[in-house]
Amino acid sequence: MTKNSKVLALKYRPQSFNDLIGQNIISDTILNSIKSEKIPNAYLFTGIRGVGKTTIARIVAKSLNCSNGIENICKENLCENCESISNSNHIDVLEMDAASKTGVDDVRDLIEFSRYGPSSAKYKIFIIDEVHMLSKQAFNALLKTLEEPPEYLKFIFATTEIKKIPVTVVSRCQRYDLSRIKSSELFDFIKKIKNKENGNVSDDALKLIVKISEGSVRDALSLLDRGLLTLDKNKELDLKSAQKIFGYFDKSQLIDLFCLILKAEEEQVINVYREIYNQGIEPRVFINDFLELLYYFKNINLITLESTNFSLNDEEFARIKKIAEQVSSHTFIMFWQFTIKTLEEIEIVSNQNLSIEMFLMRLMHLVSLKPPQDEEVKNNEIKDINSNYTIETIDQIKNVSQEKKVKIQTQPEIKAENIKSVNSFNQLLQICSEKKEIKLKYELEKNVNLVSFEKNRIEISFNDNLDKNFLKDLSLKLFEWTNERWIITLTKTKGEISIKEKELHLKNSLIEKSKESKVYKSILEKFPDASLINATPKKNFD
């Protein structure tokens, strides 16, 4: 295979530390350790795919075994050792894929092989890729050799799953965490590659490649290779072509869709989504991009255009900022909750596309909901770039079960029994008694710990015995009794003890106090086996 026939990821694979991007600190540290002859027994490189773990492993091997020494390490005209290591056929540098050789016998063979010194190089080096795939027994067999290897033996491990490697192994290695490549660095890098390949690619298309690659150099080069091969050389790979090739769609379409959702234009919303779907966009990709857009809407004042990692252009950034200024943050958070829920739901639905359409309808329904007696809810006028429209937002954030229940209760045939305010937890218990809601009262008294009680808002903690339907039952009843929506928040904060626990503590306290009384002591003198099991408070007790 000639160099020109290689895929870009292999053709432009770094051959020295100078060729690496985004890992300067790691490169300097390793070079300094080799120059000062403080070389660890084992290196451990970890990070996401395509950031240079195996590449750096080979560069370290060349740095240790270069015939010219570390001060004059080969850059272009490679020595025999560097050439062999680059081609993965050096007799003293063994590369092993732990995914295919996971057993203890494979490691024992490796240890046996390590007893013999290097043939032509200074060090014998074992490069083990995806080392986390080794079995527990294999790791245990490696421990002793890893801690005290011969002076000529060095290990270099690479992994994407550092947590799967035993701590005993990690502690015997010099660990390096390779970071994702910054968007600006990756953009400049693939732009240079594009120029070397005489590729006709727009900057916007390159930015899309950077976004999709998520900091992985290999992914970026693979996408660039694919884009260059898809189109004719005389045709430019622009943003629209790149979006079609890579299965991504224009963010402006998503912003238009969001605006239509706020207007509750059901037919137009579905039509716009179907246009996006017909472009080949997977439902999961759509949901993730929708979540990303919600994040930008909610936090647009806290971020800059540069920090969006090429996800937005100038026009999209301006539109999002304008809309975000006129829509309640509660709306964005509520939409986020429902979107996360849909992300879970599409995994169990056979036709994910239908699930997304129903999700969009649910969002439009949420926008149209308005509490019957909420004077603070107003119509917010949102001016889009192309049109004006009015939306209604609600001023409360509820979980999914609450939202569904409110939807049921706002049907015309269900009416509040009588309008009544509930101003305290004790009053709530009293109303439960009046309405003969015995089960609900039991849960409130025995399994609920009150944290705070405010107007239309209750914050509680609970024990393991709380009924699973308690929240929706209480929400339903409060709506029936007060004709107002209530927010019931569960918290880990330890609230007051339950009513039943208070009664039990009071009872025990009275019993202990009664045992100190003269009456009780005189009874014990006559009846030593007597036991006090209950006590009732009186004003003049003793």
457, 422 Cβ separation under 8 angstroms: no
The token duo for 212 is: 């999709």
The token duo for 290 is: 């929708």
Q: According to the per-residue pLDDT averaged within each range, which of 295-304, 351-360, 523-532 is highest?
A: 351-360
Name which residue leads in pLDDT, 506 or 389.
506
In order of 362, 452, 457, 461, the CA distances from 424 in angstroms are 34, 10, 11, 16
For residue 384, the model assigns a pLDDT of 40
Single pTM value for the model: 0.59
Write the pLDDT tens digit of every residue in 362-384.
Answer: 898 887 664 443 334 334 434 44
Q: How far apart are CA 124 and CA 121, in angstroms?
A: 7
The token duo for 18 is: 């100078």
Q: Are strands 448-454 and 388-392 parallel, antiparallel or unpaired?
A: unpaired
Q: How far apart are CA 46 and CA 159, in angstroms?
A: 5
Mean local confidence (pLDDT), 381-404: 41
Q: How far apart are CA 447 and CA 464, in angstroms?
A: 8
Amino acid at 376: E
Tell me, rounded to whole angstroms, the distance of Cα 208 from its chain centroid: 21
The pLDDT-based confidence of 301 (bands split at 50, 70, 90) is confident
426, 476 Cβ separation under 8 angstroms: no
Q: How far apart are CA 451 and CA 85, in angstroms?
A: 66
For residue 384, the tally of other CB atoms under 10 A from its CB is 17
For residue 58, the tally of other CB atoms under 10 A from its CB is 23
Backbone phi and psi for residue 257, each to the nearest 5 degrees, phi listed first: -65, -40
The pLDDT-based confidence of 415 (bands split at 50, 70, 90) is very low
Mean local confidence (pLDDT), 115-134: 90
Backbone phi and psi for residue 154, each to the nearest 5 degrees, phi listed first: -135, 145
DSSP H/E element including 490: strand 487-490
Could you tell me which of 334, 308, 333 has the C-alpha nearest to residue 321? Answer: 308
Helix 400-409 / helix 329-345 crossing angle, nearest 10 deg: 100
Amino acid at 488: I
The pLDDT-based confidence of 396 (bands split at 50, 70, 90) is very low
The token duo for 506 is: 């009071």
The pLDDT-based confidence of 168 (bands split at 50, 70, 90) is very high
Write the pLDDT tens digit of every residue in 306-337.
Answer: 666 666 767 788 888 888 888 888 888 889 98
Give percent helix, percent strand, percent coil of the chain, each to the nearest 5: 55, 10, 35
Q: Are strands 124-129 and 487-490 parallel, antiparallel or unpaired?
A: unpaired
Mean local confidence (pLDDT), 94-110: 85
Write the pLDDT tens digit of every residue in 462-474.
Answer: 877 888 788 888 8
- 154, β-bridge pairs: 125
The pLDDT-based confidence of 390 (bands split at 50, 70, 90) is very low
339: pLDDT strictly greater than 80: yes
Largest CA distance in the chain: 113
160: pLDDT strictly greater than 60: yes
The pLDDT-based confidence of 2 (bands split at 50, 70, 90) is low
**What residue ranges define each of the domains in the chain, with the CATH number in brackets?**
3-177 (3.40.50.300), 183-246 (1.10.8.60), 251-392 (1.20.272.10), 415-490 (3.30.300)
Give me the chain's average pLDDT, please.
81
User: For the residues of 422-470, what is the DSSP string, one character each?
Assistant: --SHHHHHHHHHHTT-HHHHHHHHHTEEEEEEETTEEEEEE-TTS-TTH
Mean local confidence (pLDDT), 41-63: 92
